[in-house]
C-alpha cells in the first residue's frame, strides 16, 4: 500500500511540474479579438518557448473565432456610442473599490454588488468587452460554458453573474493592464506594469488607456439600466487622480489589510497566475518579490497622495479585519459616509455573502524567509498609515480562502 501511494504521489508531482503548466485549455484571453491578442504577443519579442506553443495555438484559434463573432457588435455598438453616448452625470458617476491585490477588494466588491442600485460588470462582460451587448446570445451558449475551463477559478471566484474586475476588460481590449505582464508575459512585466499607475505612459499610450477605459464604462452603462456602476480593479488605487478627471463625482471605497499578509498572499497569486496563464517562464523568485514589494508600496503611496483630492463625501475607508468582524455594520457606515441610500434587503444579502466567504477553506502561507522579512519591513509605512499592527495579527476571517486577483 505504501509503495503504491508513493508512486501515485510521484506521478502527480511529475504531472504538476512538467505537464499541467503547458497543457492547452481556454485562456482568459480566448474571447479577446485577434488584434488585441496580437498587440500583447508583439511585446513578447519572440520569446515564447516551444513548451508554451500548444497553449498559444489554442488561444489564437479561439480568439480568431471570437474576432468574427464580435465584428458586428464592434461596428454597430461602436458607431452608436459615438453618435449617442450615454450621459453620465456627477450624481451617477461610478463607485470605485480601491486597495492593492489581495487586500480584500473582492470581498468588498461582492458586498457592494448585493445593492440593486449598483451594477458591477460580470465576468463575460470583462473577458469579452467587445462582444457582450449584441453578442450575448453567442456568449451565453458558446463562452459561458467555457468559464470553468479557463482555470480562472484558481485565482478568483468566477461565474456568469459574479462581479468581476474591469482591468480584465482593459487587458482584453489591447493589453492596457498589469495583467498582461503579471499573468501572460512575466518576462515583460516592466513594460506592462506602466499601465498600473499610468505615470510613465507616453501621450499616445495614455490617450489609448483613457479612451478604452471610458468606452468600456459607456458600454457598460448601456446595459446598466440607469444604475450607478460599481468598478473594482487594484490598479485603480494607483490612479485616483486620473479617475477623478475622467469621472467627475466618482465615489471611492478603500480597503486595507495587514501588509505582511498582503505580501505573502501576492507571492502565491503571482505564482498561480503564471502557472495558469503564462506564455513565458516565470521570473526568478527574488525578482518577482521585489516587483511586488515596490509596486505595493508605490500603489498605496499614490493613493495616500491622491486622497486629499477626493471630496470628503466621496470617500470611505475600511480595514479588512473590521469588515469581516462586522460586515453589515461597516457597510452601513460606508454608505453613510458616501451619502448613498442603504436600501432595504441589502442587509440580508450582505450577510449571505459574508457567510459564503466564511465557509470557504483557508490557505496556509509558508513562513517568510529572512529576505522576505526584510521586504515586509519596507512596508511598515503602510501599516502605520492604515492602522494595522506592525507584526502579523490574527484576522477574524482569512479572506484568502481561495486564490483571488483582488
Low-confidence ranges of the chain (pLDDT < 50): 1-2, 392-405
Is residue 404 one of the residues assigned to a domain? no
- Residue 9 makes CB contacts below 8 A (sequence gap 6+) with none
| Predicted TM-score (pTM) of this structure | 0.88
Range of the domain at 113: 10-386
In this structure, the number of other CB atoms found within 10 A of the CB of residue 270 comes to 23
Q: What is d(CA 335, CA 112) in angstroms, rounded to the nearest whole number?
A: 10
Q: Which of 388, 403, 235 is nearest to 317 (CA)?
A: 388
C-alpha cell belonging to residue 286? 527574488
- What is the pLDDT at residue 83? 76
Whose cell is 503547458? That residue is 22
CATH number at residue 239: 3.40.50.300
200 occurs within a structural domain: yes
Position 260 scores a pLDDT of 93
Cβ–Cβ contacts within 10 Å for residue 338, how many? Answer: 15
User: Has residue 395 been placed in a domain?
Assistant: no
- The C-alpha atoms of residue 39 and residue 395 are separated, in whole angstroms, by 42
**Looking at the domain assignment, is residue 405 inside a domain?**
no
All three cell numbers of 123: 465576468
| 30, three cell numbers | 480566448
Within 8 A by CB and 6+ apart from 354, the residues are: 111, 324, 327, 328
Report the pLDDT value the prediction gives residue 107, as an integer from 0 to 100.
Answer: 94
End-to-end Cα spacing for the chain = 42
pLDDT at 149: 61
Using the structure block, give the residue that is written with the C-alpha cell 513578447: 44
Tell whether 343 is covered by a domain: yes
What pLDDT score was predicted for residue 97? Answer: 98
Write down the residue that cell numbers 456568449 correspond to: 139
Beta-carbon neighbour count of residue 259 at 10 Å? 28
The pLDDT score that the predictor gives to residue 223 is 87
Residues 116-155 pLDDT 10s: 999 999 988 999 888 887 777 677 766 777 666 666 766 6
Q: Count how many domains the chain has.
A: 1
Q: Is residue 397 part of a domain?
A: no
* Strand ranges (E), 228-367: 228-232, 251-256, 315-319
Q: How far apart are CA 3 and CA 8, in angstroms?
A: 9
Q: How far apart are CA 362 and CA 358, in angstroms?
A: 9
257 backbone dihedrals φ, ψ, rounded to 5°:
-150, 160
Cell of 66: 471570437
CA dihedral over 152, 63, 57, 213, signed as positive or negative? negative
Residue 79 lies in a domain: yes
Confirm if 232 and 97 have CB atoms less than 8 A apart.
yes
| Grid-cell match 476588460, residue found | 169
Assigned domain for 232 exists: yes
Cell triple for residue 241? 487622480
Amino acid at each position: 500500500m505504501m509503495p503504491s501511494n508513493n508512486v501515485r504521489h510521484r506521478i502527480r508531482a511529475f504531472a504538476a511540474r512538467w505537464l499541467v503548466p503547458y497543457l492547452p485549455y481556454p485562456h482568459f484571453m480566448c474571447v479577446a479579438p485577434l488584434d488585441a491578442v496580437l498587440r500583447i504577443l508583439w511585446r513578447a519579442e519572440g520569446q515564447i518557448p516551444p513548451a508554451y506553443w500548444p497553449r498559444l495555438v489554442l488561444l489564437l484559434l479561439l480568439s480568431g473565432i471570437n474576432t468574427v463573432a464580435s465584428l458586428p457588435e464592434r461596428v454597430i455598438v461602436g458607431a452608436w456610442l459615438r453618435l449617442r453616448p450615454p450621459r453620465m452625470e456627477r450624481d451617477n458617476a461610478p463607485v470605485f473599490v480601491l486597495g492593492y491585490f489581495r487586500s480584500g477588494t473582492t470581498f468588498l466588491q461582492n458586498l457592494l454588488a448585493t445593492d440593486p442600485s449598483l451594477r458591477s460588470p460580470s465576468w463575460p462582460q470583462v473577458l469579452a468587452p467587445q462582444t457582450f451587448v449584441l453578442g450575448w446570445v453567442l456568449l451565453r451558449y458558446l463562452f459561458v460554458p467555457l468559464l470553468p475551463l479557463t482555470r480562472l477559478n484558481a485565482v478568483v471566484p468566477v461565474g456568469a453573474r459574479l462581479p468581476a474586475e474591469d482591468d480584465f476588460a482593459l487587458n482584453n481590449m489591447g493589453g492596457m493592464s498589469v495583467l498582461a505582464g503579471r499573468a501572460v508575459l512575466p518576462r515583460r512585466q516592466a513594460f506592462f506594469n506602466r499601465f498600473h499607475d499610468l505615470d510613465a505612459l507616453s501621450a499616445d499610450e495614455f490617450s489609448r488607456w483613457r479612451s478604452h477605459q471610458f468606452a468600456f464604462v459607456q458600454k457598460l452603462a448601456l446595459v446598466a439600466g440607469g444604475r450607478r456602476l460599481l468598478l473594482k480593479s487594484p490598479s485603480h488605487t494607483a490612479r485616483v487622480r486620473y479617475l477623478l478627471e475622467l469621472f467627475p463625482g466618482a465615489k471611492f471605497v478603500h480597503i486595507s489589510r495587514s501588509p505582511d499578509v498582503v505580501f505573502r498572499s501576492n507571492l502565491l497569486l503571482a505564482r498561480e497566475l503564471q502557472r495558469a496563464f503564462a506564455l513565458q517562464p516565470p521570473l526568478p523568485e527574488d525578482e518577482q518579490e521585489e516587483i511586488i514589494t515596490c509596486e505595493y508600496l508605490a500603489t498605496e503611496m499614490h493613493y495616500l497622495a491622491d486622497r486629499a483630492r477626493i471630496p470628503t463625501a466621496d470617500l470611505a475607508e475600511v480595514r479588512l479585519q473590521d469588515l469581516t468582524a462586522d460586515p453589515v455594520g461597516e457597510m452601513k457606515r460606508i454608505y453613510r459616509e458616501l451619502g448613498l441610500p442603504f436600501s432595504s434587503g441589502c442587509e440580508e444579502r450582505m450577510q449571505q455573502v459574508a457567510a459564503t466567504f466564511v465557509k470557504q477553506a483557508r490557505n496556509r502561507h509558508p513562513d517568510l524567509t529572512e529576505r522576505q522579512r526584510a521586504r515586509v519591513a519596507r512596508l511598515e509605512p503602510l501599516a502605520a498609515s492604515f492602522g494595522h499592527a506592525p507584526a502579523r495579527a490574527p484576522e477574524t476571517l482569512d479572506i484568502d480562502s481561495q486564490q483571488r486577483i483582488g
